[in-house]
Structures are given as C-alpha cells and as structure tokens.
C-alpha cells in the first residue's frame, strides 16, 4: 500500500495552531516578544478592570501608540514609493533630454518628440501644440499607427487652457475636468484620452505659445499631487531646442 505524500502535506497545511500551542511556545521562548518588538503594533493589550468608573489609561495609551506607529509606518512606505517614482521620473527625463539635445535638425527633433517621448514616459500620446494661423484652414489628422505629432491650435487657446499663468496642468479625469480645445489637441483620439498633463512653453524668438500634451488611457494616471519639477525642466529643454531648430530651418515664419 502506498501513502500519498501530497495528501499528508495538504493535511498538515490545513492544521490550525491552537491557543495553547501559542502559549506553550511563548513560555518556551520568553524573549520572543523582546526580539520581535514590531508585534506590539498589532497585539491588543489586556484591559485591566480597576472597578467602578476608573479608566485603564495604560491600555488606551498603548492603543494610541499602536495607531501612531501604524500611521508613521504608512507615511514611511508612502515616502519610499514616492522616492522610487521620483527616481523613475528622473531617469526618464534624463534619457529624454539627451535625445532632445542630440537631435541635429528640426525634423529629427520632432521625431524624438513624437516617437521617443511616448516610450520614455510610458504614455499613449504626445502632442506638440503650436498656436498658428494655419489652424484656421488646416485640420489636424493623425494615422492609426502613430497618434503622436504636431497639432496646430488657434491663437489664444493655450492661455485659455493654462489659466492663471500656469506652466503645468495635470488632469486626472478628462470626463470630469473640461478644458477648451480638447478636440483640437487630441484630434482622432479624443475617445481614448482619460488623463492628461499639459506643459506650457513660449518660444523666445517669436514669443509664440507652445503646448506639450501627454495623454494616457488610464484615469488618474496624472494628478495634482505629483511632483512637476522634472517635467518643468523637460519643457525648458524642448522650448529652447524647438526655438533653435525652427530658426535654423528657416520656416519659423511660415507656421
């Protein structure tokens, strides 16, 4: 007769530890709680009955201490997560800036913006919005293969979007937070953009307003609580390089 070892293992796994086993273990290892102080964060202390209306202050103080420790632990874990996100963003911006600086011409700069930035920042769509008279007679069209690229915008639209002189605007849910020019900026993909970040730029030579828009399919991907310092730095690099390349190309006055 053969014994099914797997059934034995399964049976042992299902066994529950009794209260008495826990008590016996602690008696055999008197330093257990001393060596595992973090357990005091979750263990419920005994409440001593002093009789009458006397309150066990020690019990309540220890309970408050546990709550405080758990709150600190939550903040610490949040800080670690935030630090990791910041390090990831720093790496993304670093790679993007190197690519932008190395682009020798306007055509290659626009390729970096349309093709490389979506990959660097793990977003679905990147649109570079240029305020231009061309917006009156040119309809923004984008192919299915790549929805990123340049969009011509009506004059004054960027100021309407970036109210109160904001340079960066994060929108968690495009269905709840309306902004003008949505159809122009995200032409041919309005239905899939759920969360957005806008970066306002101004070209030094022409004083033309420019908007860099990152769009994703996931709500709350961007939100007001996120740090924006590195994105602001990215916008400054694009602003400088775009102005430089437009002037070198000789077509700045044509768009």
CATH of the domain at 183: 3.30.450.40
In a domain, 236, yes or no: yes
C-alpha 99/C-alpha 92 separation (Å) is 11
Which of 59, 74, 89 is the C-terminal boundary of a domain? Answer: 74
Whether residues 109 and 217 share a domain: the answer is yes
pLDDT tens digit sequence for 138-190: 666 666 566 888 888 888 999 999 887 789 999 999 999 888 889 889 988 88
On whether the CB atoms of residues 222 and 195 are closer than 8 A, the answer is yes
Which residues lie below 8 Å from residue 231, measured CB to CB, with a gap of 6+?
Answer: 89, 93, 168, 197, 199
Whether residues 175 and 214 share a domain: the answer is yes
In a domain, 119, yes or no: yes
Six-digit token string for 68: 């405080």
**Over the chain, what is the mean pLDDT?**
78
Mean pLDDT for the stretch of residues 51-61 = 53
pLDDT, position 83: 47
pLDDT, position 140: 65
Which is more confident, 46 or 226? 226
pLDDT, position 62: 61
pLDDT, position 48: 55
Task: Specify the DSSP class assigned to residue 48.
Answer: P
Whether residues 221 and 121 share a domain: the answer is yes
In a domain, 69, yes or no: yes
Helices (H), 4-56: 5-14, 19-28, 32-35
Question: Cα 18 to the chain's mean position, in Å?
Answer: 45
In a domain, 82, yes or no: no
Residue 52 pLDDT > 60: no
Which residues lie below 8 Å from residue 81, measured CB to CB, with a gap of 6+?
Answer: none
Whether residues 230 and 159 share a domain: the answer is yes
What is the number of domains present in the chain? 2
Which is more confident, 37 or 221? 221
Parent domain of 42: 5-74
Confidence of residue 55 (pLDDT cuts 50, 70, 90): very low
Whether residues 107 and 70 share a domain: the answer is no
Whether residues 127 and 242 share a domain: the answer is yes
- Whole-model pTM? 0.64
* Residue 56: burial class (beta carbons within 10 Å; 0-12, 13-18, 19+): middle
Question: Cα 59 to the chain's mean position, in Å?
Answer: 41
Which of 53, 74, 95 is the C-terminal boundary of a domain? Answer: 74
In a domain, 96, yes or no: no
**Which H helix or E strand runs over 215?**
strand 209-216
Residue 113 pLDDT > 90: yes
Quick one: CA torsion of 237, 242, 245, 249, rounded to 10 degrees?
A: 180
Whether residues 119 and 43 share a domain: the answer is no
């Amino acid at each position: 007769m053969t014994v099914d070892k797997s059934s034995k293992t399964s049976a042992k796994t299902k066994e529950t530890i009794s209260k008495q086993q826990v008590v016996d273990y602690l008696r055999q290892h008197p330093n257990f709680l001393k060596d595992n102080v973090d357990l005091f964060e979750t263990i419920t202390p005994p409440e001593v009955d002093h009789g009458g209306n006397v309150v066990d202050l020690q019990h309540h103080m220890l309970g408050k201490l546990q709550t405080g420790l758990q709150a600190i632990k939550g903040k610490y874990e949040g800080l670690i997560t935030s630090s990791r996100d910041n390090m990831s963003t720093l790496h993304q911006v670093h790679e993007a800036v190197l690519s932008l600086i190395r682009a020798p011409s306007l055509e290659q700069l626009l390729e970096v913006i349309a093709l490389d930035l979506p990959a660097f920042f793990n977003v679905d769509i990147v649109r570079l919005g240029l305020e231009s008279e061309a917006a009156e007679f040119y309809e923004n069209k984008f192919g299915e293969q790549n929805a990123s690229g340049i969009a011509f915008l009506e004059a004054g639209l960027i100021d309407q979007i970036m109210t109160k002189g904001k340079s960066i605007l994060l929108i968690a849910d495009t269905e709840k937070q309306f902004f003008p020019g949505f159809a122009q900026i995200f032409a041919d993909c309005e239905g899939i953009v759920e969360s957005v970040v806008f970066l306002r730029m101004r070209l030094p030579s022409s004083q033309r307003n420019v908007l860099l828009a990152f769009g994703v399919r996931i709500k709350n991907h961007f939100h007001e609580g996120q740090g924006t310092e590195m994105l602001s730095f990215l916008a400054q690099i694009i602003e400088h390089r775009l102005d430089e390349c437009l002037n070198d190309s000789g077509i700045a006055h044509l768009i």
